[in-house]
Structure 1
Amino acid sequence: MAEKIRYYLEQQIPELQDLQKKKLFNQKEITMIMRRRTDFEHRINGRGSKPNDFLKYIQFEMILDKLRKKRLIRFKDLIDIKGTTISDYAGQRRIFFIFERGVNKYPKSMELWSGYLKYAKKNGSIKIIYETYSKLLQLQPRNINVWLSAAKYEFEKNKNIKSSRDLFKRCLRFNNDSIEVWNEFIKFELNYLSKLLIRRKLFGLISERQQIEDLSKNELNTQENIISINNEELNDELNQLPELNLSTLGTIETNPVLRGDLILTLYDVGLSTILKKTVDNNIKQDRFNKMFSFSYGIIQIIDQFEIMDRNYLLNHIIKRLIDEYPMELKIIILNLTLNLRYLKKSNDDEFVQNLQNSIKGYHAWFAKEKDNDLKMKVKLEFIKYLTDNYISNDDDDETTKLLKLLIKKI
């Protein structure tokens, strides 16, 4: 161990000599730096070392490098040496080296891995970022947070849509029963589609040629860097997924992908997978709770994307729910209030028409239903929904009067 420590310390001599030559640190400070580094090296190489020892070592080096940069700016006119020298990059290189030694010794320490990635991203070290994600995902393939972090990095920083999708699919190979992963995957696809539609609307990109040019500028589908992990066969449920890199050319009216059919496919496969993994699958209530919880979570995600045809997407989800559980109060209310969900109270004809259609739908359901207890529960919930969302004590306009009249008829 002593020889290893001596070797590491000897490698630092040229850097320290350069710092002293530039007059950024004096002899006394150089001696102190060597003493601290020697102490840290003994700590991290000892048998009783902990991940926190590496983190403290890294923190010391970061503070030291920050001080070097500040002095370099302050004394730049007094430094005779021009150009880049060893002390300009040795600090960053050493920090990466300590991180690498730390994660190799403690591969389960997420604090070390997280710090490593954060530092690499801060310094724009693309190669290290990709290598770190790849190693971490191979070591911890069931760590959902790592997969989501990698997919987010590809989408938001690199604009690499294909790579981000691939990461979600690989994540589902190991975590296909995770509601969080399915939610994030669907949110990612909605995010991508909404940004695409907003951009096309804003710049008037109508022709396919314009759209292709826009995609080439705004999506970097390069494979120079790729977060890789050993391939494994897809689960049976995931084999139902279509090829996700489908064409996004055209309009909502002409292209089902832009309308959201891919999102609905992801929802269907995700729901089937999660229900299959339900522990007490024979218990009807447990199965309903899982189904409703997952479905309503997706509905709340869809709520956030105004540019999408949200009624179209929700209609598919609610139909799936009501086909299987036609007597559940929560689902009935969702169905009866669907065409009001995104409608704000106003005095225009559209609001009044949708309101009347919704109430007509309620009356049609009420006339057909034979369970009196359920009818009473639905009646109370439906009135509560209308009152909570559209009636205020301060309002006394014509629409409010009409709404109150309609509620009385209910």
Structure 2
Amino acid sequence: MAGVPEKARYYLERAVPQLREFEAKSIFSPDEIRSLVRKRTDFEHLVLSPGNKPADWLNYVAWEKSLESLRTKRCRRLEVRTSSKHTGQGRVFGILERAVTRHPGNLDLWKEYLTYARDMKATKRYRKVMTRALRMHPAKPELWVIAGRRSAASGDMQAARGFFMRGARFCTRDATVWLEYARCEMEWLEKMDTRKGKKGGAEKAIKEQAVHSDDEIKLGGDDSDDDVDENGQLVLPDVDDSATKKVFDFDTTKTLESNPALDGAIPIAIFDIARKQGFFNATVAERFYELFANFTKVSTQSKIVQHALDTMVELYPNDSATCYCYIRQPLINVDPNAPSFPRALREALARLKSSLDTTTNKPQLAEKTASWMEGILSSEDLDSGIRTVLEYTHRTLPKP
């Protein structure tokens, strides 16, 4: 079995043609070439040693990327048009491939590999690496989120839903995948609303939602017993099951033609199924609520937010998270300088007074409310009367 020096020599010799090009085209001086050879030799001995760490590989990749960046700048300045960038990219890909083979359990290496493939627009390699990473780490929510958001960004919502739904099956310890799935769907609804005023936009959006929709969440009624496991928890349908009933069939599509945002059904379904999972609690529900509240341009936002709040009131009526969401609801999408803000603030303060009497954690509710008020008070052009009311309320909040 070859030792570390022999292995290092093998990989270093593969870079000789590139070094000869550097010298022949005067991209780097002889002294610079000798210096980078020494540096590359040190890295090769380091990463090939028995005690190498993932950080050593990441440092090696960072150095090779910086070298490639310097080569590109030199070629541009010297007007060298025949120097290929593929050689440098190939070396980086080769190092990353060796890195994930040596440390398959390290998530940072897989993320670096995926990021580089994305940045280099190496689509085929990206797909292969992502597939390997997900097979190696099916319980890591970060990878499912990266895969889902990548597909959504490229306009392939069917593939994005497939990734998120598979991730939701594997990642059952926290709500990361569920929250990002809901965020992705809200972003898609926002895009659909933008298309609403354009000619043919609604029809195109509906068509995109209707095609290959057998990998979407089923939107059954509240009394439906479909997709319930032995513990009584709702589960997601198998995206590979061709017999699964389509959510948006022909009749449904016709019914929704006047509403390209699909009435917010999918985010609501994600929230409803998430509430049946073991990780769901008042804090998770609040995160869903905040997520929905941030999408001010979605036409059905108020309906989705109200649904989340109704669920919180039903499950955790006096929890500080529920009370805080209840207090803030009148002010969602209301600008502090808008004429409607004083009336909305009056309603919010009335809710604050009643909630402080009923909540199970008054100090926590006061802390959340104080943080929210400080954000409004930081506005320099806030009306003086509103500022006075908020400052007084802030001072009179219960102290921990």
User: TM-score if structure 2 supplies the norm length?
Assistant: 0.68
User: What residue number does 1:25 align with?
Assistant: 28
Q: Match for 1:130: what amino acid? A: R
Q: How many angstroms does 1:100 deviate by? A: 0.9
For 1:144, the aligned partner's letter is: P
Q: Quick one: distance in 1 between partners of 2:78 and 2:211?
A: 41
Are residues 1:175 and 2:145 paired?
no
Secondary structure of 2:275's counterpart equals: helix
Distance 1:143 1:13 in 2: 39
CA distance in 1, matches of 2:38, 2:325: 68
Counterpart-to-counterpart distance in 1, 2:299 and 2:383: 29
After superposition, the Cα gap between the structure-2 partners of 1:35 and 1:192, relative to the gap in structure 1 and judged at 3 Å, is: same
* Alignment match, 2:40: 37
Question: Judging changes above 3 Å, is the alpha-carbon distance between structure 1 residues 244 and 92 closer, same or farther for their aligned structure 2 residues?
Answer: farther
Query: Partners of 1:161 and 1:315 in 2: how far apart?
Result: 26
Local SS of the residue matching 1:48: coil
Tell me the distance in 1 between the aligned counterparts of 2:127 and 2:265. 32
Kept after mapping to 1: 8 A contact 2:192/2:260: no
Name the larger-Rg structure.
1
Contact 1:343 1:351 in 2 (8 A): no
Greater CA drift, 137-146 or 8-17: 8-17
Change (3 A) 1:129 1:261: same
Match of 1:265 in 2: 269
1:54 maps to what in 2? 57
Question: What corresponds to 1:320 in structure 2?
Answer: 311
Say whether 1:105 aligns with 2:95: no
Residue 190 of structure 2: which of 194, 209, 221 is its match? 194
Q: 1:68 aligns with which of 35, 58, 71?
A: 71
- Of 106, 125, 128, the residue aligned with 1:128 is 125
The residue type paired with residue 294 of structure 2 is Q
Structure 2: 5+ residue runs without aligned partners? 213-226, 239-243, 377-381, 390-400
Aligned counterparts of 1:68 and 1:355: Cα–Cα separation in 2:
59
Structure 1 equivalent of residue 135 of structure 2: 138
**Identity within the alignment, %:** 25
| Aligned-CA RMSD value | 4.4
- 1:238 counterpart letter in structure 2: V
Instruction: Tell me the amino acid that sits aligned with residue 103 of structure 1.
Output: V
Q: 1:73 to 1:178 in 2, by over 3 A?
A: same
Shift of 1:118: 2.3
Q: Report if aligned partners of 2:148, 2:161 keep a CA contact under 8 Å in 1.
A: yes
* Cα 1:252–1:297 shift into 2, 3 Å: farther
Tell me the distance in 1 between the aligned counterparts of 2:179 and 2:51: 42
Cα pair distance change 1:97/1:104, threshold 3 Å: same
Residue in structure 2 matched with residue 94 of structure 1 by the alignment: 91
Counterpart in the other structure of 1:308:
299
Deviation string 1:320-372 (CA, Å, 9 cap, x unpaired) is: 34445667787588669866755568768x997x999x89x99xxx9xxxxxx
Instruction: Please tell me whether residue 161 in structure 1 is matched to residue 161 in structure 2.
Output: no
Measured after TM superposition, the shift of residue 67 of structure 1 is 2.5
Instruction: Tell me the secondary structure at the aligned position of residue 172 of structure 1.
Output: helix
Name the SS for the 1:31 alignment partner: helix
Closer, same or farther in 2 for the Cα pair 1:55/1:347, shift >3 Å? closer
The answer to whether the 8 A contact 2:202-2:259 is kept is no
For 1:114, the aligned partner's letter is K
Query: How far did 1:84 drift?
Result: 4.5
* 1: CA distance, partners of 2:35 / 2:291: 55
Q: CA deviation at 1:189?
A: 0.9
Matched to 1:14, the amino acid is P
Q: Which structure 1 segments of 5+ residues have no match? A: 222-232, 279-289, 367-372, 401-410
1:251/1:258 contact within 8 Å kept: no
Residues 1:10 and 2:13 aligned together? yes
CA contact (8 A) 1:249 1:255 kept: no
Q: Is the 8 A contact 2:138 2:170 kept in 1?
A: yes
1:312 and 1:244, CA in 2 relative to 1: closer, same or farther beyond 3 A? Answer: farther
TM-superposed CA distance for 1:148, in Å, is: 1.2
Provide the rounded CA distance (Å) in 2 between the counterparts of 1:130 and 1:317: 35
CA distance in 1 between partners of 2:112 and 2:262 (Å): 38
TM-score norm. by structure 1 comes to: 0.67
Give runs of aligned pairs for residues 352-391 of structure 1, distance below 5 A. none
Is the 8 Å Cα contact of residues 100 and 110 (structure 2) preserved in structure 1? Answer: yes
Could you tell me how far 1:196 is from its partner in structure 2?
A: 0.7
Label 1:332 to 1:155 Cα distance change in 2 as closer, same or farther (>3 A).
closer
Structure 2: distance between partners of 1:252 and 1:351: 36
Q: Is the 8 A contact 2:309 2:326 kept in 1?
A: yes
Task: Name the aligned partner's letter for residue 302 of structure 1.
Answer: F
Shift of 1:271: 0.2
Contact 1:207-1:250 within 8 A present in 2 as well: no
User: Partner of 1:394: helix, strand, or coil?
Assistant: helix
User: What do residues 116-144 of structure 1 show as CA deviations (whole Å, max 9, x unaligned)?
Assistant: 22222222111222222222221121211
Give the match for residue 229 of structure 1. Answer: none
CA 1:127 to 1:240, structure 2 compared with 1: closer, same or farther past 3 Å? closer
Q: Secondary structure at the match of 1:74?
A: helix
Counterpart-to-counterpart distance in 2, 1:58 and 1:220: 41
Q: CA separation in 1, counterparts of 2:144 and 2:184?
A: 13
Secondary structure at the aligned position of 1:260 is classed as helix
